[in-house]
Amino acid sequence: MSPLPSDPTVAELIRFGAEEFGRAGLAYGHGTDNPVDEAAALVFHALDLDHADAAEAYESKPGAEGARRVLELLAERVSRRVPAAYLMRRMWFAGLEFEVDERVIVPRSPFAELVHAGFRPWIDPERVRRVLDVGTGSGCIAIACALAFPEARVDAVDVSPDALEVAARNVARHRVGDRLRLLRGDVFEPVGAARYDLIVSNPPYVSDAEMDALPVEYRHEPDLALRAGRDGLDVVRRILAGAAAHLEPWGALFVEVGDSDQRLQEAFPRLPFTWLELEHGGGGVFMLRASEL
Ligand SMILES: C[S@@+](CC[C@H](N)C(=O)[O-])C[C@H]1O[C@@H](n2cnc3c(N)ncnc32)[C@H](O)[C@@H]1O
């Protein structure tokens, strides 16, 4: 391992951090998928640097005080094995910045790509007036939808009051409070008989056995946000049971189930799931039209 020079550049701090992370055997998957990107995110954050000026920043020297702040943050990442996003208390999703802490999962859903495409070709974005997000967490998908569909009203449901407090901060930050309602409750219960053009959900979908095998980093996230029973389908089953009653006839349901896709297919052999092929990876997202439910 190369030692850290006495007056290191940003690039040297990143390299040092990545080597430390590799040695400690950290797990990734909360916004980055490798030690170099993870270290770079923390170094830039500690020094309040802008990723847009990366080329210039790499060769700059932050001085003793800056280097101390960086090393403290890198050490915390290693000793507590906490995802970088919680240390930075922010995360980007669909090109937007969200506040996050351990009351919500770190936003990373492949839904960002669908939002970006206006859910084309599956729905006509011009027709979207009402959107429901089940299991909103930080509010990232609901807020991104509110901004992607400026004519739409969005309902965002979560069973966790803690998560809704974080979502409320993000709703205020993105100034969508006039069109986005945060509702506390179980799946469809808080929306009564309302119907939507678009229902989206990234619900909990990790089985009990998979939960036991997750790296420490994932244990900083709320159990309620990830764990979904013996086969990981507890919440998805309830979404499927209630979706038809909450969709307009032309509407569609989009749900992320990650690696539970096979189990879901086997549990509902007669449902004609369309599994979406996403350019930026992160499969396990299906679409069902109201008429298919
Ligand atoms: C995987 S997280 C997704 C959060 C956010 N949508 C995202 O993509 O980052 C699932 C969320 O569903 C919520 N949740 C769990 N069970 C629920 C239920 N029965 N009804 C409503 N929300 C639920 C959790 O509190 C958590 O915030």
Tens of pLDDT, residues 147-199: 999 999 999 999 999 999 999 999 999 999 999 999 999 999 999 999 999 99
CB of 202 shorter than 6 A to ligand 1: yes
Q: What's the rounded mean pLDDT across residues 249-265?
A: 95
Q: Give the per-residue pLDDT at 286.
A: 96
User: How far apart, in whole angstroms, are the C-alpha atoms of residue 6 and residue 8?
Assistant: 6
pLDDT at 55 exceeding the cut of 60: yes
Q: How far is CA 99 from each of CA 44, 92, 102, 247, rounded to the nearest angstrom?
A: 17, 9, 11, 30
Q: What's the rounded mean pLDDT across residues 212-233?
A: 96
**Length, in residues, of the chain:** 293
Distance 207 CA to ligand 1 centre (A): 15
User: How far apart, in whole angstroms, are the C-alpha atoms of residue 229 and residue 235?
Assistant: 9
Q: Give the per-residue pLDDT at 278.
A: 84
Q: What percent of the chain has pLDDT over 90?
A: 91
**What's phi and psi for 63, nearest 5 deg?**
80, 175
Provide the 8-state DSSP code for 62: -
Q: What residue owns the CA closest to ligand 1's atom 4?
A: 137
Mutation choice for ligand 1 from 108, 138, 159, CB with most ligand atoms inside 8 A: 159
**Structure tokens given for 110:** 């492949």
Q: Give the per-residue pLDDT at 2.
A: 60
The contacts of residue 163 (CB under 8 Å, 6+ apart) are: 103, 104, 136, 137, 138, 222, 225
Residue-wise pLDDT for 71-117, tens only, equals 999 999 999 999 999 999 999 999 999 999 999 999 999 999 999 99
Q: What's the rounded mean pLDDT across residues 116-121?
A: 93
Q: What percent of the chain has pLDDT over 70?
A: 99
Residue-wise pLDDT for 6-31, tens only, equals 899 999 999 999 999 999 999 998 98
Q: Is 113 helix (H, G, I), strand (E, B) or coil?
A: helix
For 19-78, the DSSP string reads HHHHHHT----SS-SSHHHHHHHHHHHHTT--GGGHHHHHH---HHHHHHHHHHHHHHHH
